[in-house]
């Protein structure tokens, strides 16, 4: 049966479907609905645990710690909270903790313009924390996809044994559509990859250490071997999820957009080809190269000043046109003029 | 495809109206997309709900030119609409004293938003007799809300003001 479901609600339901049983967080719009749902769930179900921490730093540390203790753990935040979480995320990469960080973007920097949508934390999702690590990030554009992709994110976290960033934005978080959860095709949940507390030898440290958890800071080979191991694992897992949408039209123009921007430009997709990355990291290099072949114009539309466009340019080895949608309003009327300028065509009929 | 914008400010029940309307349209078999766009300062800041419904799946949830706009405050002036229904004094199209009617008929200005919802349902041609009211409206103040919706639905016969 179809019910009206919002992006945040759908992500939370998907997390439960994936087997998540621990949430720690600190309220922040546009994700507070998830924290509220988690608190209600913990009240109803004894096997679901909830912590409202004193801030996002503590919440992120609790999430990584709960993962090490055997829970499927996650949090939900927005830009300012995501910044505070970066050190714990770095620790999560180091101790190989499968975790999911839901990040619904709003206009920044700093407090910015809550709770209006943005896509300004793309590069932060790639390398917001310090050190060498390999990100995995997904970005849905509908409540239904928030649900299915949540399961994918938790599965990928278990398989890659690392934090996975679930990117979102204010519009997708607060977009409500009828969804029949039972009718959606969902991958089976991957079981916990880490043995629970009380089994085997356990020593977790943020210091560069060998497989036994013994610090080996003076041994570059140990660190290098660790980097090679986690890189290989990340690449293998990423290959299982080459998620994107490509709509080909009889056009010399390819538009690239993702998240809520890809929904807003839907009327343009009848006229121009369109590529929507769903797996944001690792960047879909091969898929982008193939999709971009033969187009005179490649235009990246995003609610930031060219963050993903820069990655596309790097992937395909040529410059692209950029249309930034800044300030918290993602609309076709704001795209019309700059797109007209880039392509030299009238767009009245699509508005 | 029909596009509706409900415009007001935090605390006026914009989300209540939009949610109930979306649930009603889903019951009638429509594809619906409902997007909330609001300032997180919440109370007294702008709050918008963009609602699109169609017999086909919906692409963009953003509404820039609405078929109908219900305007309960004047925080947002960037949406164009073919027809505007507003709280008295806010527009020159159809003005209805929703808050006044809510206070007068149901003992609270806040019921003005439920009257507005009934009026909106009538305007888009929904037969409220076909709706499962328990699925459409929250349990809190259920009876009062149903009465206010019916009042708004039949309002044009009483004292519509153009």
Distance from C-alpha of A279 to C-alpha of A341, rounded to nearest angstrom: 30
Digit-by-digit pLDDT tens for chain B (162 residues) are: 999 999 998 888 999 999 999 999 999 999 999 999 988 765 678 899 999 999 999 999 999 999 999 999 987 667 899 999 999 999 989 999 999 999 999 999 999 999 999 999 999 999 999 999 888 888 888 888 999 999 999 976 444 444
Please give the structure tokens belonging to residue B11: 């605390």
Long-range contacts of residues B53-59, Cβ cutoff 8 Å, at least 24 apart:
B53/B1, B53/B2, B53/B4, B53/B22, B53/B25, B54/B1, B54/B2, B54/B30, B55/B29, B55/B30, B55/B31, B56/B1, B56/B31, B57/B31, B58/A177, B58/B1, B58/B31, B58/B32, B58/B33, B59/A263, B59/A266, B59/A267, B59/A269
Q: What pLDDT is recorded for position B161? A: 46
Q: What pLDDT is recorded for position A298? A: 98
Q: Hey, CA dihedral for A216, A222, A226, A229, is it positive or negative? A: negative
Find chain A residues with C-beta within 8 A of B61's C-beta. 171, 175, 177, 263-264
The rounded radius of gyration (Å) of the Cα atoms in chain B is: 15
Closest Cβ opposite residue B62 in set A113, A264, A269: A264
Nearest CA in chain A to B23: A4
Largest Cα–Cα distance of chain B, in whole Å? 41
Give the predicted TM-score (pTM) of the model.
0.95
pLDDT of A21-38, one tens digit each? 999 999 999 999 999 999
Residue A136 to residues A76, A223, A275, A301, B41, Cα–Cα distance (Å): 16, 21, 19, 22, 33
Distance from C-alpha of B47 to C-alpha of B36, rounded to nearest angstrom: 7
Tell me if A177 sits within 8 A of B32, measured CB to CB: yes
DSSP element (H, E) containing A188: none
pLDDT of B61-78, one tens digit each? 999 999 999 999 987 667
Which residues on neighbouring strands pair with residue A99, listed in sequence order?
Answer: A73, A163
Domain that holds residue B69: 2-159
Nearest to A298 by CA among A246, A256, A249, A349: A256
Q: What pLDDT is recorded for position B158? A: 47
The torsion of the CA quartet B66, B71, B76, B78, rounded to 10 degrees, works out to 30
What kind of architecture, by CATH, is found in domain A246-350? 3-Layer(aba) Sandwich (3.40)
DSSP element (H, E) containing A45: none
What CATH number does the domain containing B108 carry?
Answer: 3.40.920.10
Q: Does B38 touch chain A if contact means CB atoms closer than 8 Å?
A: yes
Phi and psi angles of residue B83, each rounded to the nearest 5 degrees, phi first = -140, 130
Tell me if A167 sits within 8 A of A138, measured CB to CB: yes
Q: In terms of DSSP bridges, do strands A113-117 and A99-107 run parallel, antiparallel, or are they unpaired? A: antiparallel
Phi and psi angles of residue A128, each rounded to the nearest 5 degrees, phi first = -80, -25
Q: Hey, CA dihedral for A50, A53, A59, A62, is it positive or negative? A: negative
Question: Looking at CA atoms only, how far is residue B20 from chain A in angstroms?
Answer: 10
Q: What pLDDT is recorded for position B131? A: 92
Distance from C-alpha of A193 to C-alpha of A182, rounded to nearest angstrom: 26
Q: In terms of DSSP bridges, do strands A175-179 and B31-38 run parallel, antiparallel, or are they unpaired? A: antiparallel
What are the sequence ranges of the domains in chain A?
3-240, 246-350
Distance from C-alpha of A32 to C-alpha of A78, rounded to nearest angstrom: 9
Q: Does B22 touch chain A if contact means CB atoms closer than 8 Å?
A: yes
Question: Looking at CA atoms only, how far is residue A49 from chain B in angstroms?
Answer: 28
Q: What percent of chain A has pLDDT over 70?
A: 99
pLDDT of A50-93, one tens digit each? 999 999 999 999 999 999 999 999 999 999 999 999 999 999 99
Residues of chain A with pLDDT under 70: 349-351
Nearest CA in chain B to A331: B62
Q: What pLDDT is recorded for position A197? A: 74
Contact A116 B34 (CB under 8 A): no
Q: How many CB atoms lie within 10 A of CB A336?
A: 16
Distance from C-alpha of B83 to C-alpha of B15, rounded to nearest angstrom: 20
Q: What pLDDT is recorded for position A194? A: 77
Which residues on neighbouring strands pair with residue B53, listed in sequence order?
Answer: B2, B32
Distance from C-alpha of B117 to C-alpha of B131, rounded to nearest angstrom: 14
Q: What percent of chain A has pLDDT over 90?
A: 91
Residue A72 to residues A154, A192, A344, Cα–Cα distance (Å): 8, 7, 51
Distance from C-alpha of B87 to C-alpha of B65, rounded to nearest angstrom: 20
**Burial tier of A39 (Cβ tally within 10 Å: 0-12, 13-18, 19+):** middle
Nearest CA in chain B to A115: B40
Alpha helix ranges (H) inside chain A: 7-17, 32-44, 56-68, 79-94, 122-127, 143-160, 170-173, 220-240, 259-264, 285-292, 307-316, 332-343
Contact B62 A30 (CB under 8 A): no
Return the CATH number of A3-240, one of 3.40.50.720, 3.20.20.70, 3.40.50.970, 1.10.1060.10.
3.40.50.970
Q: What pLDDT is recorded for position A119? A: 98
Tell me if B108 sits within 8 A of B102, measured CB to CB: yes
Q: What pLDDT is recorded for position A204? A: 86
């Amino acid at each position: 049966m179809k019910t009206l479901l919002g992006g945040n609600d759908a992500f939370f339901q998907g997390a439960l479907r994936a087997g998540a049983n621990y949430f720690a967080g600190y309220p922040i719009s546009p994700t507070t609905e998830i924290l509220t749902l988690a608190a209600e769930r913990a009240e109803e179900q004894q096997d679901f645990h909830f912590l409202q921490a004193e801030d996002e730093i503590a919440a992120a540390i609790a999430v990584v710690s709960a993962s090490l203790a055997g829970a499927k753990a996650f949090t939900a935040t927005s830009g300012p909270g995501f910044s505070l979480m970066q050190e714990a995320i770095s620790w999560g990469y180091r101790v190989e903790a499968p975790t999911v960080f839901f990040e619904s973007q709003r206009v920044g920097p700093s407090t910015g313009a809550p709770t209006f949508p943005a896509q300004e934390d793309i590069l932060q999702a790639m390398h917001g924390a310090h050190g060498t690590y390999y990100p995995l990030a997904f970005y849905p554009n509908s409540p239904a996809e928030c649900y299915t992709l949540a399961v994918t994110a938790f599965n990928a976290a278990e398989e890659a044994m690392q934090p996975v960033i679930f990117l979102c934005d204010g519009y997708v978080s607060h977009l409500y559509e009828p969804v029949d959860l039972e009718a959606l095709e969902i991958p089976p949940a991957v079981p916990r990859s880490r043995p629970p507390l009380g089994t085997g030898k356990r020593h977790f440290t943020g210091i560069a250490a060998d497989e036994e958890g013994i610090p080996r800071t003076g041994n570059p080979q140990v660190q290098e071997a660790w980097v090679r191991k986690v890189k290989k694992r990340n690449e293998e897992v990423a290959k299982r999820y080459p998620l994107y949408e490509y709509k080909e039209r009889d056009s010399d123009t390819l538009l690239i957009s993702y998240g809520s921007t890809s929904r807003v430009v839907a009327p343009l997709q009848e006229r121009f080809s369109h590529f929507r990355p769903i797996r944001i990291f690792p960047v879909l290099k091969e898929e982008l190269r193939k999709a971009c072949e033969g187009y005179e114009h490649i235009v990246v539309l995003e609610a930031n000043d060219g963050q993903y466009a820069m990655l596309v340019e790097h992937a395909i080895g040529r410059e692209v046109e950029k249309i930034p949608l800044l300030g918290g309003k993602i609309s076709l009327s704001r795209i019309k003029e700059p797109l007209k300028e880039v392509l030299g065509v009238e767009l009245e009929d699509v508005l | 495809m029909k596009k509706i914008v409900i415009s007001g400010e935090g605390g006026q029940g914009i989300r209540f109206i939009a949610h109930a309307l979306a649930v009603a349209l889903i019951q009638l078999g429509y594809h619906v997309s409902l997007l909330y766009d609001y300032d997180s300062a919440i109370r007294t800041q702008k709050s918008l709900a963009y609602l699109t419904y169609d017999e086909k799946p919906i692409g963009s949830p953003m509404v820039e030119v609405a078929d109908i706009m219900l305007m309960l405050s004047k925080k947002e002036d960037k949406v164009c609409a073919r027809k505007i229904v507003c709280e008295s004094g806010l527009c020159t199209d159809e003005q209805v004293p929703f808050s006044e009617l809510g206070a007068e008929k149901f003992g609270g200005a806040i019921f003005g938003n439920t009257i507005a919802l009934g009026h909106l349902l009538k305007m888009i041609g929904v037969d409220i007799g076909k709706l499962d009211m328990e699925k459409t409206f929250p349990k809190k103040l259920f009876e009062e809300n149903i009465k206010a919706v019916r009042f708004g639905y039949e309002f044009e016969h009483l004292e519509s003001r153009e």
